Amino acid sequence: MQIYLGGNHELKLKQIFKGKNAIFYNPNKEIKQTEQYKLYKDFSDQGGEVIIIDTSGKKHSKISLNVEPKKKYESTLNKIDYVLTSQQQADNQDQNEMRQSLCDELNISLQFLTKLIDQKLKILPVEWLKACIQANNFIEDFQKYIHLNKIQQISKGEESKSQEATKSNKKRDLKDLDKKQVKGKQGKDDQEEEKKGSNSNDKDQGGEGKQKPLNNEIADQLDRLLKYYTTQGDRGRMFGYKRALTSLKLFNEPIYNIDQIDKVPNIGDGIRKKIKEFIDDGIIKRFEFIDTDEKHNTLKLIESVWGIGPKNAQKLYDKKIRTIEDLRKNQHLLTDMQKIGLKYHEDFIEKIPRKEVEQLLERVKQTAFKIFQDGEKHLQIQACGSFRRGRDFCGDIDVLITRTDGKSIEGINEKVVVQLEKEGFLKERLGALRKSATGSEGYQGICQLDKDHKFRRIDLKVYPADQYGYAILYFTGSGNFNVNMRTEALKLGYSLSDHGMHKLKDSKKKNIPCLKEEDIFTLLNMPFKAPNERDV
């Protein structure tokens, strides 16, 4: 058995791949390293040879990969087969895009993939190997792949001919590769250029007068990395960067040089290095980032449609969707709710002016008060979310309703919604009315103040009064603030949610009542923060 570990695989390609059969990758780290070795040993005992690639380029032999658990390798394997087998018939465009997509998925470079293809190597998930061994038929399965490889080798002459024919295709690949070596493709270069320009401006300014703190700029960079890894589905790095970013934002001293970074918690070697790159060169050389930036942006764009998340965005991307226009032309790819999201997408990406949120809230109040006798007295209605945090512009409007006369809130939601729909204020429902086991009710949908205003995303929630403190805290956010607060709660042995809090080890799960937000802060031993201070 031959196992190769370590980062610089690109350099070792020539020596490594001669006569080998397969490369294994470990998509979700479900299989621990020790177990991997065992599997590889079994495999090699049967005459196979193993190469482990380190796609992370880091010191450890981690094989990180953007594939979610379980049987999801199916499509990856299909893609690999497609790339390996259908070069002849394939339309250049298809082949290129498939390769690129595969590279993104396996977190390897195009150059690397090209080598794999040239060497007729199979790329297989470790999970597959495990399954085969457990089922005692892995030799058969593997033979299947060997067979496949042989066929390709036999048809090699023909293949290279056809590759000759598709020279322009190859050329494009090469061109890309060349560029990659000098960091990134054309479009990216432009973008980075712009950024570099502005950065150096900042630096010049800094040189002229007193230096400007770099906190915000660094935060922006980390945020970019964070968004990138989030889209990539890299949970680990996502958490890492999220924490680092939060810590940085909570760090009150101005930062001028790299050494000050050491005082910020949750920033370790990796992130420190990137920040150093940024401070020194004005740019972080993460070529994978630049490499896939275009895809990242595209995925973000697609995800900006309500109802389309990371998974669907990726699927749509694989189906060559690149723009909102593409989506409009291919609505058969969407679910009904996503179609609604698409229909109003143009409006939804617009922020709502504070003033309008106030009007929308007023509108809801009017109707609710009209329906319920003495509504003004017994219903408490207010907008939460970024509105309550004092923002001038909000992404959506979040209305929390509570009943203060001690009676059940049951049915309030539906009555209000139905009436508002009748009045033409609510336009569409995004899913059914919600009823939770803990007694709260909710609505998600779309409203419009009047013909002169845009369509807006609106959520209504009705909570029993005894959960009010938790509810308003939760729905006021920010999301990040909630995370911090819950982390604090955990440290003290509590579990905190939108409907209550209880001692973790308390088997009775007794809820601790908090009618006001303040009580929760007190309970958690935290200084009270006004809503406008929760914008973490």
Told to check if 483 binds DNA by CB under 7 A, we report yes
Q: How many CB atoms lie within 10 A of CB 533?
A: 12
Long-range contacts of 309-313 (CB under 8 A, 24+ apart): 310/231, 310/233, 311/68, 312/338
Told to check if 479 binds DNA by CB under 7 A, we report yes
Told to check if 178 binds DNA by CB under 7 A, we report no
Across the strands, what pairs with 184? none
Piece of the chain touching DNA by CB under 7 A; list 40-48, 205-213, 332-340, 366-374: 332-340
Smallest distance from DNA to CB 242, Å: 8
Compose the 224-263 pattern: x for residues touching DNA by CB under 7 A, - for all others. Answer: -----------xxx-xxx-xx-------------------
Smallest distance from DNA to CB 274, Å: 7
d(CA 87, CA 92): 8
Told to check if 265 binds DNA by CB under 7 A, we report yes
Chosen residue from 4, 12, 33, 203 binding DNA by CB under 7 A:
33
Q: Is 112 strand, coil or helix?
A: helix
Nearest to 474 by CA among 438, 449, 503: 438
Total residues in contact with DNA, by rule CB under 7 A = 63
Nearer to DNA by Cβ, of 120 and 457: the residue is: 457
Q: Which of 120, 122, 188, 274 is catalytic?
A: 274
C-alpha torsion sign, points 497, 68, 335, 224 = positive
Nearer to DNA by Cβ, of 17 and 463: the residue is: 463
Told to check if 487 binds DNA by CB under 7 A, we report yes
Chosen residue from 130, 456, 457, 534 binding DNA by CB under 7 A:
457
Write down the H helix ranges in 330-478.
336-343, 345-348, 354-371, 375-378, 385-388, 412-422, 468-476
Told to check if 267 binds DNA by CB under 7 A, we report yes
d(CA 214, CA 149): 54
Told to check if 432 binds DNA by CB under 7 A, we report yes
**Count of all residues that appear for the chain in the document:** 536
Told to check if 459 binds DNA by CB under 7 A, we report yes
Please report how many Cα atoms fall inside a 13 Å half-sphere around the Cα of residue 316, on the Cβ side.
Answer: 32
Told to check if 56 binds DNA by CB under 7 A, we report yes
Smallest distance from DNA to CB 156, Å: 37
Q: Is 529 known to be catalytic?
A: no
Write down the H helix ranges in 282-381.
287-303, 310-318, 324-329, 336-343, 345-348, 354-371, 375-378
d(CA 514, CA 512): 6
Tokens standing for 158? 């023909």
**Strand pairing class (22-25; 122-125):** parallel
Where along the sequence are the contacts to DNA (CB under 7 A)? Answer: 32-34, 56, 58, 68-70, 72, 235-237, 239-241, 243-244, 265-272, 303, 306-313, 335-337, 341, 396, 398, 431-438, 444, 457, 459, 461, 475, 479, 482-483, 486-487, 490, 495-498
Give the residue numbers annotated as catalytic, written as ranges.
274
